[in-house]
């Protein structure tokens, strides 16, 4: 028996415009095989979240593809803003940007990017990676620099995987 869809974090294409993603966690047919092989990317993609997004596609993949392409644009822009904030040592801005990208990444199921952005958010708030203990501004900045480099690599890995997924899906149609 289907229940009411549960809302997830929204993907924002700008500060003023939001695209709501609603998961159908209680209405998904769990007897169906996953949308794609989860063994290849189990530490990269939360397949439950991503599969639910893909299941919202009708006869083509325009809905999920547009969400993913919007996310790619948004992430690239956010990384540029993060670089500027790091250069100016604006920890508050880094925390805000980390929080923003964490939510967007979670909404499409990017596990690694979400986790790294959460750490970035904590460091920007002068907290350790768990968000429980205070740290100095100097330590936060020292931790953010390699973390930002790492999250960009995680993003690139996820982007490559998702672009390949849509290319393969397109050619199999």
pLDDT tens-digit profile of 6-32? 333 444 433 333 333 333 333 333 333
Closest alpha carbon to 151 in 95, 75, 84, 100: 75
Q: What is the 3-state secondary structure (H, E, C) of 77-142?
A: HHHHHHHHHHHCCCHHHHHHHHHHHHHHHHHHCEHHHHHHHHHHHHHHCCECCCCCCECCHHHHHH
Altogether, the residues listed in the chain come to a count of 173
State whether residue 12 is helix, strand or coil.
Answer: strand
Tell me the pLDDT of the chain (173 aa) as tens digits: 444 443 334 444 333 333 333 333 333 333 333 444 545 567 899 999 999 999 988 766 689 999 999 999 999 999 999 999 999 999 999 999 999 999 999 999 999 999 999 999 999 999 999 999 999 999 999 999 999 999 999 999 999 999 999 998 888 76
State whether residue 23 is helix, strand or coil.
Answer: strand
Could you write out the DSSP letters of every residue in 24-65?
-TTTS-TTSPPSS-SSTTTTTB-HHHHHHHHHT--SSSHHHH
Which residues, listed in sequence order, are joined to residue 127 by a DSSP beta bridge?
134
Any residues with CB less than 8 A from the CB of 161 and at least 6 apart, and which? Answer: 40, 41, 44, 45
Which class in CATH covers the domain with range 41-54+61-168? mainly alpha
11 phi and psi angles, rounded to 5 deg: -95, 125
Q: What is the pTM of this model?
A: 0.76
């Amino acid at each position: 028996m289907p229940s009411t869809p549960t809302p997830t974090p929204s993907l924002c294409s700008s500060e003023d415009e939001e695209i709501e993603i609603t998961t159908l966690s209680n209405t998904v047919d769990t007897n169906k095989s996953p949308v794609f092989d989860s063994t290849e990317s189990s530490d990269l993609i939360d397949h439950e979240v991503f599969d639910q997004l893909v299941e919202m596609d009708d006869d083509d993949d325009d809905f999920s593809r547009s969400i993913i392409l919007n996310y790619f644009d948004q992430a690239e822009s956010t990384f540029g803003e993060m670089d500027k904030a790091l250069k100016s040592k604006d920890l508050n801005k880094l925390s805000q940007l980390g929080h923003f990208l964490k939510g967007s990444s979670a909404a499409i199921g990017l596990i690694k990017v979400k986790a790294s952005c959460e750490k970035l958010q904590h460091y920007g708030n002068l907290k350790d990676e768990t968000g429980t203990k205070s740290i100095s501004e100097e330590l936060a900045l020292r931790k953010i620099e390699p973390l930002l480099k790492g999250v960009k690599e995680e993003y690139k890995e996820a982007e490559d995987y998702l672009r390949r997924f849509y290319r393969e899906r397109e050619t199999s149609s």
